[in-house]
Structure 1
Amino acid sequence: MRPAKKGRITERLASVLDFACGSGSLLLNVRKRMGAHGIGKIFGQESNITTYNLARMNMLLHGVKDTEFEIFHGDTLANDWDILRELNPAKKPSFDAVVANPPFSFRWEPTDAMGDDVRFKNYGLAPKSAADFAFLLHGFHYLKDDGVMAIILPHGVLFRGGAEERIRTKLLKDGHVDTVIGLPANLFYSTGIPVCILVLKKCKKPDDVLFINAAEHYEKGKRQNRMREGLDDKPNDIQKIIETYRFRKEEDRYSKRVSMERIAKEGYNLNISRYISTTVEEDEIDLAAVHKDLVNSERDVVDATKKYNTFLKELGLPIILIPD
């Protein structure tokens, strides 16, 4: 997919799924970037009935025809949407793009039967304390072989152990993790913590993972930070991420392509700080020059004290002793 000059994507997507769509804002933003005719159909799922109705209303208010979207009210983790529960693998629905911003570290109660669920059985179940990887595996299951998935998650998924480590390791060994993008803190109304975007593909070509550390590239706001879009001669933080992702560019303290061999040595830990250093090197101190400056400063102090003592002596006042 290639961004056009005005930031739109020139290649058309037949379908886009957001399985935790909320009010539909993420889907609408994808449609805006793609252009009104850049997406064949939008699919969304939302468990909260009020938010589900708001999502449907949002679509219509933004000019999306009722034939161009389908929003379903239901539980994503229980997979209770009929169109997604096709048992015949040959008829399984799949999407060109999957996007999501699911609830972070959502506590869930997986049943024993879910261990055999087609979405999870090859990876294992996410822990009860955090359904982050359950959401990820749900969306990834319905991604086309040549599709792209982008999901916003807390940084914990990058390094937490236990069941999450096993899922993460298999995704990496299978070559499905394409890019890890670290975002600034306090970007979202729902949380102030820094989050990351995981980009996944089923048929990834490069044998490495691209890390982008965009955590320091933002404009600070009174209540909420925001990523700049190049307005009023300000940097374009969003476009910088896009360009770095498109061309897999490397930049000191910002982005790096890391081989699978290196990631394996790190125990399949994806903590961004392991691969991209954000520390600023301190200037080297010229001790000889500093010593010379100190000697000159001391000489100046002595000369000034002598001159001052001359005035004190004329006034009959005690003079200041000058150390040897």
Structure 2
Amino acid sequence: MTITQQELETRLWDAANALRGPVDPADFKTYVFPMLFWKWISDTWTYEHEEAVAEYGDDLDDEVEADFHRFEMPAGTLWSEVTTKVKNLGPEIARTFQQIEKVNPRSLAGVFGDASWGNQERIPESALLGLIKAFNQIRLDPSTVSHDLLGAGYEYLLKNFADESGKKAGEFFTPRAVVHLLVGILEPQPGEAVYDPACGSGGMLVATINQLRDSGVDHRTLRLYGQEINLTTSSIARMNLFLHEIEDFDIKRGDTLRAPAFKDTSGAVRRFDVVIANPPFSLANWGADRWAADPRAMCGVPPAKNGDLAFVQHMVSSMKSDTGRVGVVMPHGVLFRGGAEGRIRQCLIERDLLEAVVGLPPNLFYSTQIPACLLIFRDKKSVDRKNHVLFVDGSARFEKGKNQNRMSEDDVKTLLEAYRTGKDPDGEGGANVRLVPFNEIENHGFDLNIGRYIKVAAEETADLGTALVAYADARQHRIEAEQAMFERLDAAGIDLSMFGARGE
């Protein structure tokens, strides 16, 4: 008996709500996703076992049955065998996860994350029992839930967890409209390798597969690679790909800027056809001290307290010759900040690597209200775009939301058409799209602020974004100056209590 998407989503959210109260909503994903994944592989294993028995009957042996299973489930690790235990349920679940990972080392090592299942301060047994009870209402084998439906259910949970987590959601979730726009611009093709150096929950990688599926072409030859610094989030990404029936992927955990995980035989960073990411905005303490001699610093070392252009240079270094293209989400500050960032920006433009700047609406992201943009790089630009940069202003393409603004499917299609054609799809004389020659950018000191080159549709929004970025930079400089002053006063033996609060 199949289940509808609405029924699945309702039951999955009921499972999450079983944790409400004793567990912080920002931590729901830490517990719900491993349980969902375990329930899925358990139900699927049982379904596959029944198929094997139906086909072979008494002739079935372990070697034959192994061919029916995608994952191995040791005796005593099925959902039905563990969740009915009445003592030490949390520790039993933790041991079960370890056993499953151990017998599936190539595919499932570390996939369940590092949640403290036995710590009743983190997840009381009553909450765990409620979670199990809710999942017992859902059968997750192929006869009930297709991979498409299950993948959609997973995305539904990710979105809801992001809404519950507020700003913390920026660490693992990118609004799907932004993902679809970026994937649409980069157009992954069958047989290509796609890499996300800050892959979060894997949404961008999943979207590349879905785009090929939706286009009716063979997606099975697409190879996916990702790196993610957070253990829980990297585990969520792997589960996400498995649940979307994606086989050919490699997700590594680690710090991309300090220790890139994907390298070629010479030790250089590996190159891919498509490089796509929404890295953390303006990351401080990103490892600048190691970059002076790093080949990825092709255009210079970014400021130690702002890693935006470190991610950009890593991504540009990771794209293949000829076919390589890069799409990255960035704060507007990278378009106009000076100093080392200005020099890096100039270098990338002079090398004719930057193809397009696409301005996004404000307040789309969970982590910041500052408007963001997409930077598109290509190793080989089309003839008409050589020595030019395409500017697309999408600041007015949104629907107002309660907490975050939203881009509709129509908004995404409009911006995608503007990028592809270089023309205003609304037929307003190209007011929001313009192909700008190199010499004009040079005359502006390689400042890429969108308002310098095209008539901005939502000038107040754009101006507000620029002002917010400038304010954030000034505020940080002020805090640093105050801290330095207090340290000097303290060293001189001056009583600091007369100054009241010390910084922020």
Q: Identify the TM-score tier after normalising by the shorter chain.
A: 0.7 to 0.9
Which of 252, 255, 265 is the aligned partner of 1:75? Answer: 255
Aligned to 2:418: 244
Partners of 1:209 and 1:258 within 8 A in 2: yes
Distance 1:171 1:224 in 2: 32
Aligned to 1:227: 407
Compare 91-100 and 12-21 and name the one that shifted more: 91-100
- Using structure 1 for the length normalisation, give the TM-score: 0.76
Per-residue CA deviation, residues 208-237 of structure 1 (Å, 9 max, x unaligned), is 1100000001111112111111xxxxxx11
Q: 1:72/1:8 Cα in 2 relative to 1: closer, same or farther (>3 Å)? A: closer
**Is 1:22 matched with 2:200?**
yes
Task: Report the AA paired with residue 142 of structure 1.
Answer: S
Q: Among the aligned pairs, what percent are the same residue?
A: 39
Distance 1:112 1:201 in 2: 28
Per-residue CA deviation, residues 47-75 of structure 1 (Å, 9 max, x unaligned), is 0011111111111111212xx11000000
Q: Displacement, 1:31?
A: 1.9
Which of 344, 350, 353 is the aligned partner of 1:176? Answer: 353
Secondary structure, in 3 states, of the residue corresponding to 2:373? Answer: strand
Distance 1:223 1:134 in 2: 30
Secondary structure, in 3 states, of the residue corresponding to 1:171? Answer: helix
Distance 2:190 2:210 in 1: 13
Aligned to 1:316: none
Gaps of 5+ in 2: 1-180, 459-504
Partners of 2:269 and 2:317 within 8 A in 1: no
Task: Report the AA paired with residue 435 of structure 2.
Answer: R
Partners of 1:16 and 1:42 within 8 A in 2: yes
Which of 257, 270, 293 is the aligned partner of 1:93? Answer: 270
Q: 1:7/1:49 Cα in 2 relative to 1: closer, same or farther (>3 Å)? A: closer
Which of 232, 248, 257 is the aligned partner of 1:50? Answer: 232
Q: 1:113/1:22 Cα in 2 relative to 1: closer, same or farther (>3 Å)? A: closer
**Is 1:200 matched with 2:377?**
yes
Task: Report the AA paired with residue 179 of structure 1.
Answer: A
Distance 1:246 1:39 in 2: 25
Aligned to 1:274: 452
Partners of 2:225 and 2:249 within 8 A in 1: yes
Q: 1:100/1:270 Cα in 2 relative to 1: closer, same or farther (>3 Å)? A: same
Secondary structure, in 3 states, of the residue corresponding to 1:143? Answer: coil
Partners of 1:31 and 1:39 within 8 A in 2: no
Structure holding more helix per residue:
2
Structure holding more strand per residue:
1
Q: Displacement, 1:183?
A: 0.2
Larger C-alpha radius of gyration, 1 or 2? 1
Q: 1:11/1:71 Cα in 2 relative to 1: closer, same or farther (>3 Å)? A: closer
Secondary structure, in 3 states, of the residue corresponding to 1:45? Answer: strand
Q: Displacement, 1:188?
A: 1.4
Q: Displacement, 1:279?
A: 6.3
Compare 110-119 and 153-162 and name the one that shifted more: 110-119
Q: Displacement, 1:204?
A: 1.9
Aligned counterparts, 1:1-324, within 5 A = 11-35=189-213, 37=219, 40-65=222-247, 68-81=248-261, 84-86=262-264, 88=266, 93-110=270-287, 112-120=289-297, 122-145=298-321, 146-205=323-382, 206-229=386-409, 236-250=410-424, 251-278=429-456
Task: Report the AA paired with residue 438 of structure 2.
Answer: M
Secondary structure, in 3 states, of the residue corresponding to 1:95? Answer: coil
Q: Displacement, 1:38?
A: 6.5
Distance 2:299 2:187 in 1: 33
Q: 1:279/1:70 Cα in 2 relative to 1: closer, same or farther (>3 Å)? A: closer
Q: Displacement, 1:207?
A: 2.2
Q: 1:110/1:187 Cα in 2 relative to 1: closer, same or farther (>3 Å)? A: same
Distance 1:238 1:161 in 2: 31
Distance 1:203 1:279 in 2: 30
Gaps of 5+ in 1: 230-235, 281-324
Aligned residues: 265
Partners of 1:150 and 1:200 within 8 A in 2: yes
